[in-house]
Structure 1
Amino acid sequence: MPILVMKFGGTSVATLDRIKRAAKRVGVEVAKGYDVIVIVSAMAGETNKLVGYVSETSPLFDAREYDAVVSSGENVTAGLMALTLQEMDVPARSWQGWQVPVQTTSAHASARIEDIPPANILAKFDEGMKVAVVAGFQGVSPEGRITTLGRGGSDTTAVAFAAAFGAERCDIYTDVDGIYTTDPRIAPKARKLEKIAFEEMLELASLGAKVLQTRSVELAMRYKVKLRVLSSFEEQSDEAGTLVCDEEEIMESNVVSGVAYSRDEAKMTLFSVADRPGIAAAIFGPLAEAGVNVDMIIQNISEDGRTDMTFSCPTDQVARAEKAIEALKDSGDVNFATLDVDDSVAKVSIVGIGMRSHAGVASKMFATLRDEGINIKVITTSEIKLSVLVDRKYLELAVQALHDAFELEKAA
């Protein structure tokens, strides 16, 4: 039988009624002739509650026990989903990560999947099981301990299963009905995309779009897994949702496919840094070791052997970055005059595979922001992306203006 992977997020399984609704969708696919692997998240709010229990019990917790606790939310959902399907006379059973087994690294709370041997589940399909309900977000380390994959890990679990089992498609059910050209809460004219290329989705996910987890898109692109994002709360058709697929499967697309944003960004500048070979490594190596996720980097032209170095990072990592940089100065490894921190900026980005072959995209973006009186603080580019830092108070205006300027409400 062909295999379909269906993943249900926390809001889709938040109550017993919603689990029943999700189970009915699974039943429809079984009736079509599929063997189905269902990946479930914990019920909405459950993981936060469990994390709170751990933190309250042990502020400096053992990460192995943290994983044992927080992974239990998915186990509950998997069991309830399997029971619901059995009540519908659909042969189903639940699977925890170690039973499959989902083999991961030993990095507790942020493990990576290394292998998913399909033999155990395929044997049960051969025996008549129609649905394997797998607890997402979890696996087992080489040492035999439960591991978790980090926030959003159930998306990654679903794509990994689709790749391991050669699934026809991986459907991600969530509380939105697809991928939009931007956040509809900011730009009411935002349009749902029928298809989007893996590369575009990867950029959008990494730039702040929260529909899919970045690692899941990376996996899908690497193993050519067709992803479909759709709502668990709306009536479905074969054309529902948004298909994330190879660029070759998209006949025509706009030059720009979407506008993404990240609200909580900070800009940090080291003034008058000694301009010498290895200075960038001396700065950004310790920042990486301190767990600071550096994004945009700009180095000014050197004058009299000194230069300025600017970078951005999430606002909740500023204190960590400041501590690491001050330690560098105290040790004498990096000599600079002052450190300036602006934690009131936001990142706005435009993304599109059409940018590869069209000139004038950057000038149009910059002119649009200029016409709205929005000053650009930092610019970075890639082949299919343009990102700028602006004052946070102009975030919504910038997103709306760019969405209108590139006419994203219109299909190609």
Structure 2
Amino acid sequence: MSLIVMKFGGSSVGSTERMQRVARRIADYREAGHDVVVVVSAMGDTTDDLIDQSKLLNPNPPAREMDMLLTVGEQISVALLSMTIDALGYKAKSFTGWQAGISTEAVHGKARITDIQPRRIFDALESGHAVIVAGFQGATDEGEITTLGRGGSDTTAVALAAAIQADVCEIYTDVDGIYSTDPRVVKCARKLGEISYDEMLELANLGAAVLHPRAVEYAKNYNVKLVVRSSFTQNEGTSVKEEAVMEQGMVVRGIAYDKNVARISILGVEDIPGVLAQVFGALATSGIDVDIIVQSGTQDGKADFAFTVSLTDKDKAIAVVESIRGEVPYREVTSEENLVKVSIVGAGMVSNPGVAAKMFKAIYDLGISIKMVTTSEIRLSVIIAAEPAQDVVRALHTAYGLDTAEQAFVGGPQDRR
């Protein structure tokens, strides 16, 4: 008998029929003798609908009240799923995040889990119940309700799996595993049997939306075995683990792309010690994550440098740069949108020469200019214009021998929470 954590996203429970399918899968595990803890997101478009309603009443609602509102979606899901399992003749008990013992920091909208006290979960398991927990939420030590931000239900599931020492944490979505790239873009994408935490973390950070980076990071830190599989089929999924078996010839394991990119250039900056520390220190203080940084050569004591941020942070980043112009004089600041970051990832890249050259050649053959480049031991990313991004992904997928004869399985709208 195993202790299994299962996570189902919004599309997996988005209708009565899908809710019943999920309940049947849980019942099958219970019938096989397994203990089950299930983490569930809000049904379908519930969260988006709640946000739309709030904006009609208040365009800038207080963050605390938004958390009060948005946690309702998951509470509806857990109650309905518990009722559905009960209708199949199995005991189930639903919990909100705070009832399940999830404590968070006092940040509304994107809180981090600080502790889990799963006493009530263990009590329910011992009394023969399947435990159904609302994802995406917790509470502070003062009892304030909080939400965990994008990918919060994935993080809830992995954190619970670590806290209760589950044998495995299964993440159910609309695709039946981790693919070499987005199967909606490349129909012949390759499903991976295994992938390492480090490779998956890179792909998640680079735009692959099947798992949230925080959840992967949590799994790596606490050695939680993850399996990504489909809620629509019984197909074997992809295992995410410390060391993954390398498939022969697969130097590159995955290709990701991220459209949420903007480039900011600061031109004519005094080339003196400490300038970069001042600029990026100010951005960090404002909570802005900076990705790629490139500095050009110095001329007449002046230098130009550029960096990328998320598109949603672009205006805020420009305002920060303009606010420190008195301390860091420069000629002008410019920005560019309609960009995409395309990345290749693979643990085998570090010991195989020519990987970068093949990427640059494939992009050159499409007549596309590369604007920025960044690398690590297992990842190479380029910034290009957004319009040809999918063509680039397809070309790279073919160039690295990742195409298969089979079409990838996609079951419906992708779960992102």
Q: Same fold (TM over 0.5)?
A: yes
| Matches of 1:225 and 1:337, distance apart in 2 | 50
Q: Does 1:399 align with 2:393?
A: yes
Shift of 1:302: 2.4
**Aligned with 1:285 (options 273, 281, 295):** 281
Q: Does 1:8 align with 2:2?
A: no
- For CA contacts below 8 A with separation 6 or more, give which structure has more relative contact order: 2
* Contact 1:229/1:243 (<8 A) preserved: yes
Tell me the number of residue pairs that the alignment of Structure 1 and Structure 2 aligns.
Answer: 405
TM-score (norm: length of structure 1): 0.94
Q: Does 1:109 align with 2:109?
A: yes
Overall identity of the aligned pairs, in %: 45
* Contact 2:101/2:119 (<8 A) preserved: no
* Contact 1:11/1:175 (<8 A) preserved: yes
Shift of 1:279: 0.8
Shift of 1:118: 2.3
Q: How does 1:13-412 map to 2 (within 5 A)?
A: 13-129=13-129, 131-234=130-233, 236-237=234-235, 240-248=236-244, 254-329=250-325, 332-409=326-403
Structure 2 SS opposite 1:99: coil
* Contact 1:207/1:349 (<8 A) preserved: yes
1:40-90 CA distance string (max 9 Å, x none): 000011111122233333334332221111001000100001111111111
Runs of 4+ aligned structure 1 residues displaced above 4 Å come to: 248-253
TM-score (norm: length of structure 2): 0.93
Structure 1 SS opposite 2:388: helix
* Contact 1:137/1:157 (<8 A) preserved: yes
* Contact 1:3/1:36 (<8 A) preserved: yes
Structure 1 SS opposite 2:98: helix
Shift of 1:248: 4.8
- Listed as ranges, the gaps of 5+ residues in structure 2 are 406-417
| Matches of 1:250 and 1:370, distance apart in 2 | 29
Shift of 1:316: 2.7
Shift of 1:410: 5.5
- Listed as ranges, the gaps of 5+ residues in structure 1 are none
RMSD value, Cα: 1.6
1:116-149 CA distance string (max 9 Å, x none): 12222112222232x0000111111011111110
1:338 aligned partner, one-letter code = E
Shift of 1:108: 1.1
1:247-273 CA distance string (max 9 Å, x none): 255575711001100123222211111
Structure 1 SS opposite 2:143: coil
1:123 aligned partner, one-letter code = D
Structure 2 SS opposite 1:38: strand
| Matches of 1:148 and 1:288, distance apart in 2 | 23
